Structure 1
């Protein structure tokens, strides 16, 4: 859910300066990401995309397409599992993950 509060400088980017992107490979997969700060979904509706975001954890599914999350703090853990239950890196079907720190929002 979008954050409605702003920081002292007036920008959500200041509060959530980092970005993690989950990129699906066309195979149903589950993901769980956790950070040592706060996390929120970007460019999507968590309920429509069956994604749960709570505190510093986001989990859900991805097939094709992208799921993006802004977060504060550091990445703590990423777990990816394909439709057969195989975890990354043992499965070539699991999504790719990109983590960028200090990324401004466009």
Structure 2
């Protein structure tokens, strides 16, 4: 899958502060997939974001999680979050999908 923008690791390439808002996705021990879309820019916060998360474009991320935490920084407003468990059952119908926490201006 081609990327529109490179994956970044929390500090913008021009040396500015990280993007102001934070999405945290917490796995619940079941393989699950997620998609997050914002109306600004979004980037992964990770030591190895390519292995942890796939950046689809400058404003959308998709990836998978089973255990642990995935963090994404973004600007603007959160537009959409889509979560499904291993069988394709979406949240909130599945108790196995990851939990999502959104913080603005952190």
Coarse TM-score class (shorter-chain normalised): 0.7 to 0.9
Gaps of 5+ in 1: none
Gaps of 5+ in 2: 1-6
Q: Identify the residue that residue 4 of structure 1 maps to in structure 2.
A: 13
After superposition, the CA RMSD in angstroms is: 1.1
Q: Identify the residue that residue 67 of structure 2 maps to in structure 1.
A: 64
What TM-score does the superposition give when structure 2 sets the normalisation length?
Answer: 0.85
**Which deviates further from its counterpart, 87-96 or 37-46?**
37-46
Please identify runs of 4+ aligned residues in structure 1 that moved more than 3 A: none
Count matched residues. Answer: 96
Q: Identify the residue that residue 43 of structure 1 maps to in structure 2.
A: 46
Paired with 1:44 and 1:89, the residues of 2 have a C-alpha distance of: 30
What TM-score does the superposition give when structure 1 sets the normalisation length?
Answer: 0.85
Q: Secondary structure at the match of 1:34?
A: strand
